[in-house]
Amino acid sequence: MKQNIQEIETVTVKAPCPEPGIKALILDDSVFDRRRIRRLSDDTALGITLDETASIEGLHEALDQERFDVILIDFNLPQGDGIEALQVIRNHDVNGSCPTIMVTGDDKSDVAVKSLKMGCEDYLTKDEMTPETLKSSIMGAINSAAKNAGIDALVQSEIEQVTSVIMAKYTNALQPKLARVIRDMRSLRSALPDKEANVPGELENIERQCIKLWSLLLDPHTVSRRQEFRH
């Protein structure tokens, strides 16, 4: 029994350490500023793993390689600016909703307003950045993004509820009419001469759309699940 306990304790000691809490990316062309932000992030005690890139081109590569929890963007870049970088992030399939913080050496209110308007969760100036302000900004950005995602999910849920109510109200009235349209389309298509080959195809498309609508009336979630219709 003692031997078994010792073996368990040995395995526990050798277990790998858990992954750091926050995976972050800094986009800044200044090596000095990137190193400074790295030191500050280490002092936040958030367990941040920080990747670095110096250009928008490098940003594309970084976004394709990792999923980030937060991205810090330097506004002043040698090619392009922070707003362009933000658009690159927002258009990315994986990191498109990642919380972002605009960082700049200039204390310009117009840059801050533009950054927030374009979707940044926060704005920091390099001169005023400390471990405390960086920690507060990162946690605020992550929490804000999570809250917005929750609101989006709530809105989507409410839309689905309203859709279900509407469908329940009008399904009984629409289904017989759709059934008649489908029958008429099939009869008309079969009665047309072969020389009008394009017309039957168009009628078939109308028929398929009617059947899709029929399927939607039976199950309003069909569209949201993006199931492919099979006739």
Report the DSSP beta bridge partners of residue 104.
125
Helix (H) or strand (E) holding 63: helix 56-65
Q: Give the mean model confidence (pLDDT) for residues 138-163.
A: 73
pTM for this one? 0.59
What sign for the dihedral angle of Cα 56, 52, 92, 134?
negative
Residue with token string 């005023």: 128
In the chain, the percentage of residues whose pLDDT exceeds 70 is: 64
For residues 13-23, give the mean pLDDT: 51
- Judgement on whether residues 107 and 169 belong to the same structural domain of the protein: no
Give residue 145's pLDDT.
81
159 and 51 in a single domain? The answer is no
23 with 104, same domain: the answer is: yes
Q: Which of 7-21, 49-63, 102-116 has the lowest mean pLDDT?
A: 7-21
- On whether both 60 and 113 belong to a single domain, the answer is yes
Q: How far apart are CA 146 and CA 135, in angstroms?
A: 17
For 208, the 3-state DSSP assignment is: helix
189 and 116 share a domain? no
- Looking at the structure, tell me whether residues 23 and 80 fall in a common domain: yes
34 within some domain: yes
Question: Within a domain: residue 79?
Answer: yes
Residue 89 lies in a domain: yes
pLDDT of residue 203: 66
Name the residue range of residue 179's domain: 153-225
Long-range contacts of 113-121 (CB under 8 A, 24+ apart): 114/83, 115/75, 115/82, 115/83, 115/86, 118/83, 118/86, 118/87, 119/86, 119/90, 120/73, 120/86, 121/145
Measured CA to CA, the distance from residue 133 to residue 90 in angstroms comes to: 25
122, 161: one domain = no
Same-domain status, 57 and 109: yes
pLDDT value of residue 199: 60
Residue 50: inside a domain, yes or no? yes
pLDDT in tens, 52-71: 999 999 999 999 999 999 99
* 125 and 169 assigned to the same domain: no
Q: What pLDDT sits at residue 2?
A: 45
User: What pLDDT score was predicted for residue 172?
Assistant: 72
